[in-house]
Amino acid sequence: MKEVTYGKKTGKVFWGVFLVLAAAFLVVSQLGFLEGVGIVSILFTIFWAAVLVEGIFSRSFGKILFPIACICIIYDRQLGIEAITPVTVLVAALFGTIGLNMIFRRKKHYYYKSAWKEEFPEKETIIDIEGLDEEGAEEEECANGSKIYFNARFGSAVKYVNSDCFEYASLECGFGGIKVFFDNAKIPGGKAVIDLDVSFGGVELYIPKEWNVVDHTDTHFGGVEEKNRCRTAGTPVVTLTGDINFSGVTIVYI
């Protein structure tokens, strides 16, 4: 078991970098170094550069390669690469993202908050779970335990959580889709966490109407949609955490 610092919301990093780059581009443009470059191109460059820097901080290959591709498209004439824009560079960014995600798969963790508060604490405890790379071990670990892990990459999957003491779920989805049913899960402790790592995919969570879901995810070019929600301020409280990139997450209350 080890303690690590729980980082600030990545959205703050993005907007901080955006404002710094905007200030830098403003000064540079007034010095005459950007003659011939339109204001729209400058704004898009600032935006994609901010996404790129935020992607480096969050170690997201998609948010590194796609901004580079978009900047290449914006300045294709200046770079002399008009023959390969936009389709070729975008496809290259897609293939590069897929390949790098396959090579450098994120290590699987189970996250435990060091304290349950309305605002998350600055630190969290991480317990590494080894041996989940094998398909059989994955299924066996996830069936009925209090802490589960599901993975769906380059395909679709349907999973069911049948636990009488559910506490934590880690869901990874990349370039695919996954449906997870929690209707048979029980939370005797009153609080649980669902951690999402979704990139270029879609996730559907089927949640009991009695659960009070609190969204603390970081979304970039994606979002969380709720259907059939029955407003409740009671227990159990289920907190959504993690990153949603170029993806959509749908919560269906049943």
Residue 239 reports pLDDT greater than 90: yes
pTM score of the predicted model:
0.60
DSSP 218-247: EEES-EEEEES-----SS-EEEEEEEEES-
Q: Is residue 215 exposed (0-12), middle (13-18) or buried (19+ Cβ within 10 Å)?
A: middle
The amino acid that residue 4 corresponds to is: V
92 pLDDT band, cuts 50/70/90, is very high
- The whole-angstrom separation of Cα 254 and Cα 56 is 38
Q: How many angstroms separate the CA atoms of 224 and 250, rounded? A: 6
**What would the pLDDT profile of 6-52 be if each residue is shown by its tens digit?**
344 556 666 777 788 788 877 777 776 666 677 788 888 888 888 88
